[in-house]
Structure 1
Amino acid sequence: MDGVITRGLIYISLIIQVFSSGTFEMAILSIYNGNGRRSDGHCCVGTKESCSDQCRTFVSACLLQHTINVPELPECIFGNSSTAVLGGNVILSQTLNDFEMSTLLIRFQFSWPAVFTLVVDVRHDNDNYLSQNDSSELIIRSIVSETIYPPSYWYTQTTLGENKSIQYTYRVICDDNYYGAGCEVFCRPRNDSFGHYVCDQDGTKLCLPGWNGEFCQTAMCWDRCNMSHGFCYEPFQCSCFIGWEGESCDQCIRNPGCINGYCHEPWQCICNGDWTGKDCNIDINYCHKYDPCEHSGTCLPDNQKNFTCECVTGYTGTSCESVICEDRHCQNGGNCSVSSIGCKCPDKYYGPHCEFRKLTCDETDCMNGGTCIPTLTGTMCNCTKGFTGDNCKSEIDECNSSPCKYGGICKDGVDGYICDCRDGYTGNNCDIIMDPCMGTTCFHNGTCVASSSVFSGSCLCSQGYTGHRCEIVIESVYRY
């Protein structure tokens, strides 16, 4: 009854721990059966006294829970495996044609228990069915009770009998992507939408550079990325939420159409000092800056369109640019026949409302030789050279432009000027510099210097010479 309960608990344990996966591996190194006999002493082939042929040898492995007393036909709780017929009475691993022939694999999908018992039976295949239930065909049995943890090295076991032996190795390894003492830790490296990591020797996930989180699914953004306004799909990026922009997602996006404004939060349009309106496109000081109203109109601030002109009587339009053509607005006998043309004035008057009288040349006094010329609005004076103004009464002062250079004094004349130049300068505008040493040659390495009092040059002679041009040699008399 206790055995039934124990087996039941083991089965339950296996069911609960199905997320483990590994393999118990066993490799046969050698089998020796010198007389070709079974464990009961009888020949595999022939009579008890005379063996007529070699045994047809194969091996089975049974993996079960740790036990001291192994029954004749054990129940392989952890799994079992067997080979095909490997050969006769002497079998060496190097003589086998296929390495897989001598290797037994017992797969498990439960948490490896560490403590186990391994029963290895070398048998004779008497019926060509590789039967493992006939104890009479047993050649030699090897039993190992051990504690090992995956991944393990190869352990070697040698079992001796009467003129018989078997030697084999075994180990426990976890399947790919399984780790831990029981192969119960699953970790498969990946780099996709489900995770970005590799696995260490214990199956612990190690995030790839730029990722963190339990499954390394969270991208690490730039340190300067404002995480209140942005995020990142890929490492070291900064993708902005709607309404934010900039490398660090720290700049709000203004309301579309906002011209002279800024924002603290997305879609705002907070106007700069001199602007107003929904889009901050209305200049508060427009009237003062541009004085847009014509014909004495009064400019008034307008929060909808920068300004509104309040026009005087007789004018209309955005800037009071248009004349209202009504007879009552026409002066000095003017009249209006078409509303969009304006006042039609008598010959002697002009202006939008005929408010200005035309002068004739008889009434115009052109001075300083100016000539009167009739125009559409009256007369004008064509002035002679050197004069300007409405009546040519003002003489043009040519010295206003300061034409004389290098300290020259300008004297105005009619239609011209004269420059009185300082010493050393000449030309109409005193812009030509004269060199007082020009044309002066000093001999014997003499040097010409300009006089500070008069505009002239003189020679400064080297030692031993004199004269106006240093042309005279001074004779020296030495007495001893």
Structure 2
Amino acid sequence: MANVLPACLLLLLSADLVRSAGVFELKVHAFHSARALCQRAVDCRIFFRVCLKHSQDVILPEPLCTNGTGLTEPFSADQISSSDPIRVPFNFKWPGNFSLIIEVWSAESSSKQFTEIQNNLITRLATKRTLAIREESAQDVHQGEQSELHYSYHVACDEHYYGDSCSDYCRPRDDIFGHFTCDATGSRICLEGWKGNYCTEPICLSGCSEEHGYCKTPGGCNCRLGWQGPLCDECQLHPGCMHGTCSQPWQCNCKEGWGGLFCNHYLN
């Protein structure tokens, strides 16, 4: 059993690590361009790509998006907005400061890897931004030489993640690993009958001796060896002791008028 529990904990931790801690969402509200979006007017489709990087004073155009990337499905260029927000999950502490790159690409029907053909790139916006968790969506407008882009963005923690950087994890549970719920800040709140940092310690019957008793479930009082009684505060006599008392387990202190090893000899 001792080997099983660490293995279970490792599996649980591994499952939590692969989950995202939060998500950055960007919504394109409108896009206008004075130049032709596609080389061919027939079946002209475009898509938006978002790239998040660590904060840089000079944002380099290399394709590596250190904090994640996301893109929309190609849609008709007749539309001026994307219907769904672009989601970029992250599984690290949200830094607050970041570099944001938004690209608009042409998705020609004959192209399989749209972003590998630089001629398909319509416009690119690169900017440095600051955004805190749970702030209201930030509205922004980018005006290029031949295009205009209206968009908004926000960031939020995933379920069970809390704090200013989505780094505090708390998932309600009621099993061998803990018995608790979580408050609005991600702090553990022990279920009734439990205590401890992870709410794994049961609260014993009121009055149960802390020194001589223990419990495996809330409200119980199990006596340690040599003790007895509802509250485990009564010592057990030496086996065979007839007219004696004890202050520690296995004693046989004779009452007045009695003697012998088992206090079974009447002295008067």
Normalising by structure 1, what TM-score? 0.46
What is the match of residue 64 of structure 1? 53
What is the match of residue 65 of structure 2? 76
Once residues 28 and 49 of structure 2 are traced to their aligned partners in structure 1, the CA distance between those partners, rounded to angstroms, is 14
Once residues 124 and 204 of structure 1 are traced to their aligned partners in structure 2, the CA distance between those partners, rounded to angstroms, is 47
Once residues 20 and 151 of structure 1 are traced to their aligned partners in structure 2, the CA distance between those partners, rounded to angstroms, is 19
Q: Any unmatched runs of 5+ in structure 2?
A: 1-16
Matched, 1:45 2:44: no
Matched, 1:124 2:110: no
How far residue 85 of structure 1 moved from its aligned partner, in angstroms, is 0.7
Query: Are 1:21 and 1:183, in contact at CA under 8 Å, matched by a contact in 2?
Result: no
Counterpart selection for 1:183 from 157, 166, 181: 166
How far residue 123 of structure 1 moved from its aligned partner, in angstroms, is 1.0
Query: Are 1:122 and 1:141, in contact at CA under 8 Å, matched by a contact in 2?
Result: yes
Q: Report 1:338-349 matches (<5 A).
A: none
Superimposed CA distance per residue, residues 101-135 of structure 1 (whole angstroms, 9 cap, x where no aligned partner): x3322222222211001111111013432522434
Q: Report 1:218-237 matches (<5 A).
A: 218-222=201-205, 224-237=207-220
What is the match of residue 87 of structure 2? 105
What is the match of residue 136 of structure 2? 153
What is the match of residue 239 of structure 1? 222
Q: Any unmatched runs of 5+ in structure 1?
A: 1-17, 39-43, 47-51, 97-101, 286-480
Superimposed CA distance per residue, residues 400-421 of structure 1 (whole angstroms, 9 cap, x where no aligned partner): xxxxxxxxxxxxxxxxxxxxxx
Counterpart selection for 2:124 from 111, 124, 141: 141
What is the match of residue 446 of structure 1? none
Give the aligned residue type for 2:54: Q
Q: 1:89 to 1:72 in 2, by over 3 A?
A: farther
Give the aligned residue type for 1:65: H
Once residues 209 and 111 of structure 2 are traced to their aligned partners in structure 1, the CA distance between those partners, rounded to angstroms, is 76
Query: Are 1:205 and 1:215, in contact at CA under 8 Å, matched by a contact in 2?
Result: yes
Once residues 53 and 163 of structure 1 are traced to their aligned partners in structure 2, the CA distance between those partners, rounded to angstroms, is 22
Query: Are 2:35 and 2:146, in contact at CA under 8 Å, matched by a contact in 1?
Result: no
Once residues 29 and 244 of structure 2 are traced to their aligned partners in structure 1, the CA distance between those partners, rounded to angstroms, is 91
What is the match of residue 269 of structure 1? 252
* Greater Cα offset, 207-216 or 75-84: 207-216
Once residues 153 and 240 of structure 1 are traced to their aligned partners in structure 2, the CA distance between those partners, rounded to angstroms, is 57
What is the match of residue 238 of structure 2? 255
SS of corresponding position for 1:136: helix
Query: Are 1:177 and 1:187, in contact at CA under 8 Å, matched by a contact in 2?
Result: yes
SS of corresponding position for 1:58: strand
Once residues 249 and 32 of structure 2 are traced to their aligned partners in structure 1, the CA distance between those partners, rounded to angstroms, is 90
Query: Are 1:19 and 1:184, in contact at CA under 8 Å, matched by a contact in 2?
Result: no
How far residue 27 of structure 1 moved from its aligned partner, in angstroms, is 4.2
Query: Are 1:231 and 1:239, in contact at CA under 8 Å, matched by a contact in 2?
Result: yes
Give the aligned residue type for 1:79: G
Superimposed CA distance per residue, residues 22-65 of structure 1 (whole angstroms, 9 cap, x where no aligned partner): 23332434344466714xxxxx134xxxxx33631111111012
Query: Are 1:20 and 1:182, in contact at CA under 8 Å, matched by a contact in 2?
Result: no
Give the aligned residue type for 1:112: W
Query: Are 1:72 and 1:135, in contact at CA under 8 Å, matched by a contact in 2?
Result: no
What is the match of residue 183 of structure 2? 200
Query: Are 1:32 and 1:89, in contact at CA under 8 Å, matched by a contact in 2?
Result: no
What is the match of residue 114 of structure 1? 96
How far residue 73 of structure 1 moved from its aligned partner, in angstroms, is 4.2
Once residues 150 and 54 of structure 1 are traced to their aligned partners in structure 2, the CA distance between those partners, rounded to angstroms, is 40
Q: 1:172 to 1:32 in 2, by over 3 A?
A: closer
Once residues 21 and 170 of structure 1 are traced to their aligned partners in structure 2, the CA distance between those partners, rounded to angstroms, is 18
Once residues 49 and 28 of structure 2 are traced to their aligned partners in structure 1, the CA distance between those partners, rounded to angstroms, is 14
How far residue 232 of structure 1 moved from its aligned partner, in angstroms, is 2.5
Give the aligned residue type for 1:63: L
Query: Are 1:84 and 1:130, in contact at CA under 8 Å, matched by a contact in 2?
Result: no
Once residues 201 and 92 of structure 2 are traced to their aligned partners in structure 1, the CA distance between those partners, rounded to angstroms, is 32
Give the aligned residue type for 1:134: I
Once residues 219 and 113 of structure 2 are traced to their aligned partners in structure 1, the CA distance between those partners, rounded to angstroms, is 63
Matched, 1:87 2:48: no
Rg comparison, structure with higher value:
1
Q: 1:226 to 1:71 in 2, by over 3 A?
A: closer
Q: Report 1:399-438 matches (<5 A).
A: none
What is the match of residue 301 of structure 1? none
Q: 1:158 to 1:173 in 2, by over 3 A?
A: same
Once residues 78 and 284 of structure 1 are traced to their aligned partners in structure 2, the CA distance between those partners, rounded to angstroms, is 89
Number of residue pairs the alignment of both structures matches: 251
Give the aligned residue type for 1:274: G
Query: Are 2:103 and 2:125, in contact at CA under 8 Å, matched by a contact in 1?
Result: yes
Counterpart selection for 1:212 from 184, 195, 208: 195
Give the aligned residue type for 2:103: D
What is the match of residue 330 of structure 1? none
| Aligned alpha-carbon RMSD (Å) | 2.9
SS of corresponding position for 2:75: coil
